Amino acid sequence: MPSHAIEIRGLQKTYPGGRQGPAKAALKGVDLDIPAGSIFGLLGPNGAGKSTLINILAGLVVKSAGSVRIWGFDQDVNPRQSRAAIGVMPQELNLDPFFTPRAALGVQAGLYGVPKARRQSDEILAMVGLSDKAEAYARTLSGGMRRRLLLAKALVHQPHVLVLDEPTAGVDIELRQMLWQNIRKLNEEGMTIILTTHYLEEAEEMCDEIAIIDQGSLVARDSTANLLGQLDARCLVVVPEQTPGLMPNLPGLDVSERDTGELALSYRGSVLTADAVLEAVRAAGIVIRDVRTEQANLEDVFLSLTGSH
């Protein structure tokens, strides 16, 4: 097993301009090593370049410059081996509506040259909970089932590295938990997992290490614990008993009043405690009817760290 599942050097991608707009530099020289055996999170706001990077790994987008090694195989030198080492569950639900799940897996296995004797369609369908839909047309499957079928397709050639692009965006809690269970199990069996998400909470729970990409450049790369220590945006939402006359005032506390009359209190966990924030609210003469915490997502964190875009 190589020590790095993925080695990326100087990776650039510029999408050519056209009717849709001018040329767009989506990746501006990314260096990134992803340890073998890890669950690795690639995070960043919308438009950061996450899908571009993943689609280059998958061989779906052609890079403009730089090099990519997958499981030790250079994409340009050993395209077949590097492609065989990686399976990708794409962000888009692009399934052929006329294939049943079993047929779709058969086609995929054929594409990757998996010999009939080594195919495990039934096991994979069972794993993602689609056994009883094996013969249903894809167009009759629910959104959640389609997503599970995409995961199944990514697994047919038993890749060393599994890449999931926003696997849980817009899926319900049940499916989300099922996906995470599957992903943990695959990782325990030795598969390296790379996923993108813009839910910080999810990354915190799942990933050993994280890279953050913003506007085509890597802005952070660390263990999850170290990174979350840095990215410590907090938000308390207070429902006041009456319209406040005075706003809470405390260094390091950012207060905004929402249309609903709620007060959103943003601060850094390393600077203030929730107790100090609530004390400042009371000191302003505000009677608290209700209070809740809001999970900061990565875009909030970027806002609090950079104050821009």
- Site residues (vs Mg ion, CB under 5 A): 50-51
What is the nearest approach in angstroms of ligand ADP to the Cβ of residue 105?
26
- 12 part of the interface to ligand ADP, by CB under 6 A: no
What is the nearest approach in angstroms of Mg ion to the Cβ of residue 196?
6
Measured CA to CA, the distance from residue 129 to residue 178 in angstroms comes to: 9
What is the nearest approach in angstroms of Mg ion to the Cβ of residue 26?
10
- 29 part of the interface to ligand ADP, by CB under 6 A: no
Here the tokens at position 308 are 């821009």
Burial of 68 (0-12, 13-18, 19+ CB in 10 A): buried
Indicate the helix (H) or strand (E) that contains 11: strand 4-15
What is the nearest approach in angstroms of ligand ADP to the Cβ of residue 66?
15
- 48 part of the interface to ligand ADP, by CB under 6 A: yes
Indicate the helix (H) or strand (E) that contains 302: helix 298-306
- 137 part of the interface to ligand ADP, by CB under 6 A: no
Measured CA to CA, the distance from residue 178 to residue 180 in angstroms comes to: 5
- 44 part of the interface to ligand ADP, by CB under 6 A: yes
Measured CA to CA, the distance from residue 297 to residue 202 in angstroms comes to: 10
Among 7, 8, 50, 182, binds ligand ADP (CB under 6 A): 50
Here the tokens at position 68 are 């990519």
- 49 part of the interface to ligand ADP, by CB under 6 A: yes
What is the nearest approach in angstroms of Mg ion to the Cβ of residue 263?
33
Residue 159 binding partner per list Mg ion, ligand ADP, none, with a CB distance cut-off of 5 to 8 Å that depends on partner kind: none
Here the tokens at position 298 are 């990565």
Nearer to ligand ADP, 212 or 272 (CB): 212
- 51 part of the interface to ligand ADP, by CB under 6 A: yes
- 46 part of the interface to ligand ADP, by CB under 6 A: yes
- 299 part of the interface to ligand ADP, by CB under 6 A: no
- 24 part of the interface to ligand ADP, by CB under 6 A: yes
Q: Which amino acid is at 17?
A: G
- 212 part of the interface to ligand ADP, by CB under 6 A: no
Nearer to Mg ion, 169 or 271 (CB): 169
Residue 75: CA count within 13 A, CB half-sphere: 23
- 26 part of the interface to ligand ADP, by CB under 6 A: yes
Sequence-distant (6+) residues with CB within 8 A of 301 are 200, 231, 233
Residue 74 in contact with residue 68, Cβ under 8 Å? yes
Q: Is 264 helix (H, G, I), strand (E, B) or coil?
A: strand
Here the tokens at position 285 are 């003469």
* Binding region for ligand ADP (CB under 6 A): 15, 24, 26, 44, 46-52
